[in-house]
Amino acid sequence: MNDPGVDVWRMFSQEFWDDRYSGAPVFSGNPNPWLVHHAEDLTPGTALDVGSGEGADVLWLASRGWHVTGADISPVALARSARLAERAGPRITARVTWQQADMLDFDAPENSFDLVSAQFMHLPGPTLKALHRRLAAAVKPGGTLLLVLHVPPEPGTGNLTFPADMFPTAEQMASVLDPARWTIDAGTHQRPANDATSTTGHTHDVVLHAVRRPAPPRTATTEQRAVSGYWSLTEARWSPGPGKVVADRRWPQ
Ligand SMILES: C[S@@+](CC[C@H](N)C(=O)[O-])C[C@H]1O[C@@H](n2cnc3c(N)ncnc32)[C@H](O)[C@@H]1O
């Protein structure tokens, strides 16, 4: 039954998630299938996972050689993730960083990561769009942005009334990216048949996979300037004379 009286913003607070993570494990401990699908063939580099939860995606990436920052609002979730990393050994702990951060005002450093992933990191309304913009800016040229969200629950099937804009369509998600700068693949997909992560019964996800186009090659510009005088070949010296135009090749810094 829908309960329009429930404060949806509470679902994005530290208190709510600390409480959820203080009991038995919430998730399966397996990496999310869309992350595995899109990242297993990537060359390891630096990665950021936002809303990292119990850290399964961070640990999976680290086990494949990535240096990963897992960011979440819940210190309880981050402490649980750090314990799992320690159990996985020093090679993994050396590659992971845990950061407590509220995605409502998280300032991801720009041009910093080869992979930015956000799996089921919902936020209400325009705050989600703003987060996606900031996450896109955090991707290095040539890097990958992976955003995965639940499809909206069928009306009347959930026990909460969620704001509709918490569940953007693939097209709405793609609209935050400039197609001139990104190669974008966005759609609604059924979860892979071998999915070992679903604890919620969701069968479909909205998935945006985008690769930031590499920076354009450096090209020289030609700047013309007027000079007064000319180089005399016969006299092998600069001679004053009528103005003319010469061209300078300049390279961007
Ligand atoms: C549905 S869980 C997904 C966890 C993980 N990505 C996964 O797929 O297993 C959403 C995560 O977002 C985190 N979260 C919720 N609101 C947040 C906020 N305002 N800032 C940062 N993280 C938040 C929660 O603590 C939780 O770990």
Burial of 163 (0-12, 13-18, 19+ CB in 10 A): exposed
Three-class SS state of 85: helix
- Please say whether the beta carbons of 71 and 82 come within 8 A: no
Of 222 and 59, more confident: 59
Q: Which two tokens stand for residue 87?
A: 């159990």
CA of 237 to the centre of ligand 1 (A): 72
Residue 52 CA to ligand 1 center (angstroms) comes to 6
Testing ligand 1's pocket by substitution, the residue of 58, 121, 150 carrying the most ligand atoms inside 8 A of its CB is 121
Quick one: average pLDDT of 74-96? 98
What is the DSSP-derived secondary structure letter of residue 37?
Answer: H
Ligand 1 center from residue 246 Cα (angstroms): 60
pLDDT of residue 172: 95
Q: Domain segments of the chain: what residues? A: 8-212, 221-250
Mutate to test the pocket of ligand 1, among 52, 57, 72 (most ligand atoms within 8 A of CB): 72
Give residue-wise pLDDT tens across range 154-196: 666 655 567 777 889 999 999 999 999 999 999 999 887 666 6
Which three-class secondary structure string do you get for 151-204? CCCCCCCCCCCCCHHHCCCHHHHHCCCCCCCEEEEEEEEECCCCCCCCCCCCCE
Q: Which amino acid residue places its CA nearest to atom 9 of ligand 1?
A: 53
Residue nearest to atom 12 of ligand 1 (CA): 51
Cβ atoms of residues 78 and 72 within 8 Å? yes
Tokens of 36: 């595995």
Q: Could you report the per-residue pLDDT of 88-145, keeping only the tens digit for each?
A: 999 999 999 999 999 999 999 999 999 999 999 999 889 999 999 999 999 999 999 9
With 0-12 / 13-18 / 19 or more C-beta atoms within 10 angstroms meaning exposed / middle / buried, residue 127 is middle
**Residue 208 is which amino acid?**
L
What is the spatial distance between Cα 220 and Cα 213, in angstroms, rounded to a whole number? 20
Determine the pLDDT at residue 1. 33
Position 225 scores a pLDDT of 57
Residue nearest to atom 14 of ligand 1 (CA): 51
Q: What is the mean pLDDT of residues 19-46?
A: 95
CA of 14 to the centre of ligand 1 (A): 10
Å from CA of 150 to ligand 1 middle: 13
Ligand 1 and 205: CB distance under 6 A: no
Residue range 220-233: mean pLDDT, rounded: 61
CA 146 – ligand 1 centroid, Å? 15
Q: Is the beta carbon of 69 within 6 A of some atom in ligand 1?
A: no
- So what's the pLDDT on residue 186? 97
pLDDT score at 181: 97
* Residues in Cβ contact with 166 at an 8 Å cutoff, skipping those fewer than 6 apart: 8, 122, 123, 124, 125, 128, 152
Distances (CA, A) of 81 to 16, 21, 24, 108, 139: 18, 11, 13, 20, 24
Q: Which of 12-16, 79-83, 149-153 has the highest mean pLDDT?
A: 79-83
**14 secondary structure, DSSP code:** H
Does residue 51 contact residue 106 with C-beta atoms inside 8 Å? no
Question: Residue 103 has which token pair?
Answer: 């995605």
The pLDDT, as a whole number, for residue 242 is 61
CATH 1.20.120.420 holds for 8-212 = no
Assess whether the C-beta atom of 117 lies below 6 angstroms from ligand 1.
Answer: no
What pLDDT does 163 receive?
A: 75
Average pLDDT over the chain, rounded to whole? Answer: 86
The residue-averaged pLDDT of 55-80 equals 98
**Bridge partners of residue 187, in order along the sequence:** 207
Give me the percent of the chain exceeding a pLDDT of 90: 65
